[in-house]
Amino acid sequence: MKVNLLIAGVMVLSAVIAAPASANDAIVLNESIYSFGNGGEFTAETTPPNFLNAYVPATIVNGGFETFCVEASVTFNPGVAYSLTLSDTDSQGRALTEGTAFLYSKFAKGELDGFDYIDTDARRTEAGELQAAIWNLQGHQTGGPCFPSGGAGNPFYDLAVADLGLNHITAPNNGVFDVEILQLLDQAGKTCQNQLVAGVPEPGFASLGMLALGCMAARRKKSRLPKTD
């Protein structure tokens, strides 16, 4: 009976962690002080704020996490609330690549080599380079002449190549790095700009902690039971 309860708890925990964003979840995007042109960084505020656990203070602005778009030809309206879903592909069916997921995971953790998280002007310039590299890794997209090159010579593209190799940078991520795509929908169900998000939503971690505490409490309670003949 106790074994069955433990198995059931693990199954519930797995379901919670793997659960996608709820249909009631919402996101509001705004340009950031670090935005380059019409690209990232953007500040994303979600309701509920499930994703902040994956970000360091340097990548959280005004209570929202900093993000980058994965579609150069799809737009959004700043300040408007959209519904969201988590996906491994963008709205046009392009898979999230290992290169993009690697770069964004490092960015979110404050560990992206060559990225200045402190100086505003330098960060804005490097956000443009990172956005260009992401677009290039997501199907050779480009933001036009106002953006730097996203291919060879771009410091963040080159970093992805150096760490992952040419054979991996455009391979589907498939969970290699803990990053997913947020697909945005307006009230009419129309697809809007897709963004990147790092980490596992906080409810999964909260449930993990509750399950662990429950198991520990059960063990302590068992240890206090008197012996019987």
Task: Tell me, yes or no, whether 227 lies in a domain.
Answer: no
Give the residue ranges of DSSP H helices in 109-167.
Answer: 120-137, 155-164
Task: Tell me, yes or no, whether 1 lies in a domain.
Answer: no
H or E stretch including 117?
A: none
pLDDT at 101 > cutoff 80: yes
Residues 36-86 have pLDDT tens digits of 999 999 999 999 888 999 999 999 999 999 999 999 988 898 989 999 999
Global confidence as pTM: 0.78
Q: What pLDDT score was predicted for residue 72?
A: 93
Q: Which domain holds residue 138?
A: 25-220
Spell out a b/e string for 15-42, using b for 16 or more CB atoms within 10 Å of the CB, else e.
Answer: ebeeeebeeebbbbbbbbebbbeebbbb
Task: Tell me, yes or no, whether 65 lies in a domain.
Answer: yes
Give 92 or 224, the one with higher predicted confidence.
92
Q: What pLDDT score was predicted for residue 191?
A: 87
Give the residue ranges of DSSP H helices in 58-180.
Answer: 98-108, 120-137, 155-164
Task: Tell me, yes or no, whether 18 lies in a domain.
Answer: no
* Whole-number average pLDDT of the chain: 82
Q: What pLDDT score was predicted for residue 225?
A: 32
The DSSP letter of residue 74 is: -
pLDDT at 24 > cutoff 70: no
Q: What pLDDT score was predicted for residue 53?
A: 94
Residues 54-63 have pLDDT tens digits of 999 999 999 9
Number of domains present in the structure of the chain = 1
Q: Give which of 99, 151, 96 is closest to 129, Cα–Cα.
A: 151
Give 9-33 as a 3 state SS string. HHHHHHHHHHCCCCCCCEEEEEECC
Residues 149-187 have pLDDT tens digits of 999 999 999 999 999 999 999 999 999 999 999 999 998
Per the CB < 8 A criterion, the answer to whether 115 and 108 are in contact is no
Which strand ranges, in their side-by-side order, compose the sheet holding 42-47?
60-61, 64-67, 42-47, 26-31, 81-87, 179-185, 191-198
Task: Tell me, yes or no, whether 32 lies in a domain.
Answer: yes
Beta bridge partners of 87: 181
Residues 196-228 have pLDDT tens digits of 999 854 443 333 333 333 333 333 333 333 333
Task: Tell me, yes or no, whether 16 lies in a domain.
Answer: no
Task: Tell me, yes or no, whether 71 lies in a domain.
Answer: yes
Burial class (CB in 10 A: 0-12, 13-18, 19+), 197: buried
Task: Tell me, yes or no, whether 194 lies in a domain.
Answer: yes
* Amino acid identity, position 184: L
Q: What pLDDT score was predicted for residue 169?
A: 98
Residues 109-147 have pLDDT tens digits of 999 999 999 999 999 999 999 999 999 999 999 999 999
Beta bridge partners of 147: none
H or E stretch including 223?
A: helix 202-223
